[in-house]
Amino acid sequence: MEGSSRESAGSNWWRSAVIYQVYPRSFADGDGDGTGDLAGVRAKLPYLAELGVDALWFTPWYLSPLADGGYDVADYRTIDPAFGTLAEAEKLIAEARELGIRTIVDIVPNHVSDQHAWFRAALAAGPGSPERERFHFRPGRGENGELPPNDWPSEFSGETWTRVEDGEWYLHLFTPQQPDLNWDHPEVRQEHEDVLRFWFERGVSGVRIDSAALVAKDPELPDFVEGEGPHPYIDRDELHEVYRSWRRVADEYGAVFVGEVWMPDAERFARYLRPGELHTAFNFNFMTCPWDRDRLRAAIDGTLAEHAPVGAPATWVLCNHDVTRTVTRYGRAEDTGFAFDRKRFGVPTDLERGTRRARAAALLSLALPGSVYLYQGEELGLPEADVPREKIQDPMYFRSQGVDPGRDGCRVPLPWVADAPYSGFGSREEPWLPQPEGWSAYAADIQAADPSSMLTLYRAALRLRASEPGFGDGPMEWLPAAPGVLAFARPDGLVCAVNFARQPAQLPAHSAVLLASGSLDESGGLPQDTAVWLRQ
């Protein structure tokens, strides 16, 4: 069977692709031990092919103590035994490709695990050693070096420096188990290019670059002073040379990059997407936008305007493994947007409203120009799960002293079969995160048989999108629409309309309704929080 999308065989596949994010720990458990694994993914490849995705992005599957869900990599050339083996990963990559599905792996250049051979060697070798130069080791401040070398705040709450036994401190923008690498060191650069090649040689088509804008540091590691020169560790100009060099490696293999770049400044963001740098970056402005017509329109216009000068296609993202699930976010009464600092326990949500909006948002994002990211379980309409405090594993929770629930609520193992233990996730015992009550109602098997389910909607939308060359990369044009309505045209007479207003809206002129996220009303009007695809 060849790929579903018109572009999946071509070199420009990534400009229009639908990319499905797999969080392997929670996708499917093939060996029954409570943790998802590669055997589980391989068994579900037919499901993914039927869904119609063009590529899978795997969050880190490498050897890791899992202090931050695998974003603490101990060895890039080994698959964590909890997930499988390298031979199995190779099989998975090949089997997926046979179904027309490409593979994207996750590389985490900012840091490694404290169990990585380099960091262990650095600890053993002591102050002043060449081994320590691959990291940021410094003496402390204060009379006896008892104070951290600078005042940088952590990306997760808590400290950014940890003192080791011999008195030196090392920098970690995330947890102490994730020491930051020194990107001024030639071996750090060489090693990452070797790792890229290692995975490209194994048939990988792309790489997601974790925390891409944090990697370079001011070599002086100065305190951060607002408004004084370039930021000491965010979005530094030196980064671009690193990614230009990575790009030369990727070009040898025809592989592509997607950068995790959180950057409110449109011009600075677009710099990462210049020719010769990254192919794409995640669109977090769209993801963090509340369900509001004007703000979404502004986010879409802003996205297209910032990408146009560099010729890069936009990406459209509603959810990932770091944020509150779409259905729950959109179901909240106010400020349905997302910010890490606003994540709190017990924020009320209306799941019916959230689901309606998530369905409409699916059709909206799949109709926009560019590629789309889909996070596992989004196609099932999963809400954010309440994970009991005593079961939480995410370091964000612990580092915030239990104020921030962290990200486990979007990482709960998927429900596959309603009438099976642990909703068919595959475990013989309770999975690594417990599934909440009622989880089996979202199971893929019952949704597959239900014409009104989220899964059925996604399957229909992906099938249509793949068969219509007017979707994906290309031009779009806003159409005049009633207040509260967004309507735009794509090539070949395709139209997408979304109604945000309370009163039903008249559909734009059309010859056929191709797909709707909910029922139209008796007189053919588009109800609130509903989207439709039309042919003019």
What the block records as the tokens of 499 is 């109604």
User: Can residue 74 be called a binding residue for ligand GLC (CB under 6 A)?
Assistant: no
Residue of 17, 53, 108, 171 interacting with ligand GLC (CB under 6 A) = 108
User: Can residue 27 be called a binding residue for ligand GLC (CB under 6 A)?
Assistant: no
N residues, the chain: 536
Q: How far is the CB of 107 from ligand GLC (least distance, A)?
A: 11
Distance between CA 261 and CA 180 in Å, rounded? 17
Q: How far is the CB of 25 from ligand GLC (least distance, A)?
A: 12
* Residue closer to ligand GLC (CB basis): 56 or 534: 56
Terminal CA-to-CA distance of the chain, rounded, Å? Answer: 32
Beta-bridge partner residues of 153? none
| Distance, CA of 325 to chain centre | 12
From residue 229 to residue 268, what is the string marking binding to ligand GLC with x (rule CB under 6 A)?
-------------------------------x--------
Distance between CA 387 and CA 533 in Å, rounded? 37
Q: Does residue 522 have an active-site annotation? A: no
Distance between CA 257 and CA 273 in Å, rounded? 10
Indicate the residue whose CB is closest to ligand GLC. 71
* Residue closer to ligand GLC (CB basis): 217 or 321: 321
Q: How far is the CB of 174 from ligand GLC (least distance, A)?
A: 5
User: Can residue 161 be called a binding residue for ligand GLC (CB under 6 A)?
Assistant: no
Torsion of CA 76, 77, 80, 85, to 10 degrees: 150
Q: Does residue 260 have an active-site annotation? A: yes
User: Can residue 174 be called a binding residue for ligand GLC (CB under 6 A)?
Assistant: yes
Q: How far is the CB of 394 from ligand GLC (least distance, A)?
A: 8
From residue 387 to residue 406, what is the string marking binding to ligand GLC with x (rule CB under 6 A)?
--------------------
In the window 414-473, what residues touch ligand GLC (CB under 6 A)?
Answer: none
> Do strands 371-375 and 18-22 pair parallel, antiparallel, or not at all (unpaired)?
parallel
Beta-bridge partner residues of 55? 19, 102
Task: Choose the catalytic residue: 80, 88, 114, 210.
Answer: 210
Q: How far is the CB of 435 from ligand GLC (least distance, A)?
A: 21
User: Can residue 211 be called a binding residue for ligand GLC (CB under 6 A)?
Assistant: yes
Beta-bridge partner residues of 240? none
User: Can residue 322 be called a binding residue for ligand GLC (CB under 6 A)?
Assistant: yes
8-state DSSP, 181:
B
Q: What 3-state class would DSSP assign to 463?
A: helix
The DSSP secondary structure of 149-174, one letter per residue, reads: S--PPPSSSS-SEEE-TTS-EEE-SS
For every residue of 376-414, which 3-state class applies, written as one string?
CCHHHCCCCCCCCHHHCCCHHHHHCCCCCCCCHHHCCCC
Task: Choose the catalytic residue: 88, 106, 155, 260.
Answer: 260
Which residues are catalytically annotated?
210, 260
The footprint of ligand GLC (CB under 6 A) covers 68, 71, 108, 174, 210-211, 260, 321-322
